[in-house]
Amino acid sequence: MTWSPDPPQGFSRSQSQVIIGRPPIPLFAAPQGISGGGGGPPPTTVQLLQVLPDAPALIADETFDHYKFYTIDTGQVPASQTNMALVIIDSLPIGTFVGTSGFDIRVFDSNNMAIPYEVELADINPDGSGDVIIWIKMPVVNDDEFIQVTYGKSGATDGQNPSGVYDVNHKAVYHLDGNGIDSTSNGQSATVFGTSLVAGKIGNALNFTGVVTDYLIRNPFTGFPTTDLTISYWIKTTGNNDGMVSYAVIGSLREFFTLDQQFLILFINNVLSFSADVFNDGTFHFITVTWRSSDGQLLVYDGSTNTSSTTHQTGATLTTGGALVLGQDQGSVGGGFTGTRSLDGVLDGVIIEDTVRDSNYITARFNNQNDNDVFWDESILFDYPIILVDAPDGEPIEVLGA
């Protein structure tokens, strides 16, 4: 078989690939004798739009007007993960959406199976353009794995399933978009006092001004991790000696506590441990703390870098049902705040889990949230109908859909 002109850049007969195109621009000629998905011959020319490796027929839901592919770029995921919560941050052009509700969004995996998603932001304009922040539960997370998002459908109803995005290890997820809503199914939403809404690392976030009236509280917090935990959050601050994440129970006011942005201090089961972490330079840092009771392993990460490792409180068991407070140091369960320990800075994206995430998972999570444009290799926004041309190694070219 020959191409006219030469095969498109990136095309190789050494692996199965799908070439996505549509008429009428004659970038390359279709091979003779192929038949279209509708039974008739396809156009003699198609416009090359995208090349994807090892892809099936990709039309997930033709009742929507548009669709877009998001492929994890090479080098973003150190080791394969499953059922991971990832975020898509995107700006879509005029005509993408029908109406301004943001309901006309659906997400599909690489096998065209619908997957759970949560819309943190759908800022849709009357002209159908808009900005979106979409959290998805991606079944397989590897370099070059992709998902498809469909956009634009008149009369679409809300298809979100926020609690389905986060696995059972997530005890609470707070996006902090002006509220304390917990996106998991655990119902651990917090009440917000004071603070103000500002631009965050992902969408909006909450600004704390170093006073005792700025904080979030969940009391009681049911299901707080007891023997294995991962707690992560984005923070931007120039302060020091401030309380960030505080969990207190009767008899142990620092059951879990992160204190001081200039020289991070950690408390587990009311016992102090120092780390060398400094993150008060006025830029966003993604802080992750993991602790495992069985061997006392206590790790701190700034972004994807493991900045501190020690053994602490081996064999301890934390008590559930206490008070979670963001932005303060609890002098009594759920209160007793002092201004010298009140957070002066911005908090965003607080995640509490009852498992120890390893460095590969933490790196993939950080890469996804830190630079979304680099993490995802995005296709253009396609319109239906499309043409999908499959080119398996050693087999004839075949039109899969038209």
Q: What pLDDT, on the 0 to 100 scale, is given for residue 46?
A: 40
Q: What pLDDT, on the 0 to 100 scale, is given for residue 255?
A: 98
**Domain range annotation of the chain:** 17-165+375-401, 170-354
Show pLDDT as tens, one digit a residue, over the chain (402 residues): 233 334 444 443 333 344 444 333 233 333 333 333 333 333 334 444 444 444 444 556 778 888 898 999 999 999 999 999 999 999 999 999 999 999 999 999 988 899 999 999 999 999 999 999 999 999 999 998 999 999 999 999 999 999 999 999 999 999 999 999 999 999 999 999 999 999 999 999 999 999 999 999 999 999 999 999 999 999 999 999 999 999 999 999 999 999 999 889 999 999 999 887 899 999 999 999 999 999 999 999 999 999 999 999 999 999 999 999 999 999 999 999 999 999 999 999 999 999 999 999 999 999 999 999 999 998 878 776 544 444 444 333 333 333
Q: Could you give the CA distance from residue 216 to residue 191 in angstroms, rounded to a whole number? A: 5
**Residue pLDDT, tens place only, 24-51:** 323 333 333 333 333 333 333 444 444 4
Catalogue the E-assigned strands of 284-379: 285-292, 297-302, 305-311, 323-326, 344-353, 376-378
Indicate the fold that domain 170-354 takes in CATH: Jelly Rolls (2.60.120)
Q: What pLDDT, on the 0 to 100 scale, is given for residue 257?
A: 97
For the chain, give the number of residues: 402
Q: Could you give the CA distance from residue 359 to residue 131 in angstroms, rounded to a whole number? A: 31
Q: What pLDDT, on the 0 to 100 scale, is given for residue 128?
A: 96
Q: Could you give the CA distance from residue 339 to residue 341 in angstroms, rounded to a whole number? A: 5
DSSP state of 63: T
**Residue pLDDT, tens place only, 13-23:** 333 344 444 33
Burial of 126 (0-12, 13-18, 19+ CB in 10 A): exposed
Q: What pLDDT, on the 0 to 100 scale, is given for residue 58?
A: 54
According to DSSP, the residues that pair with 309 across neighbouring strands are: 299
CA distances from 382 to 52, 62, 110 (A): 14, 12, 16
Round the average pLDDT of the chain to a whole number and report it: 85
CB-CB contact of 86 with 145 (8 Å): no
Helices (H), 226-385: 359-370, 372-375
Q: Supply φ then ψ for residue 38, to 5 degrees.
A: -90, 5
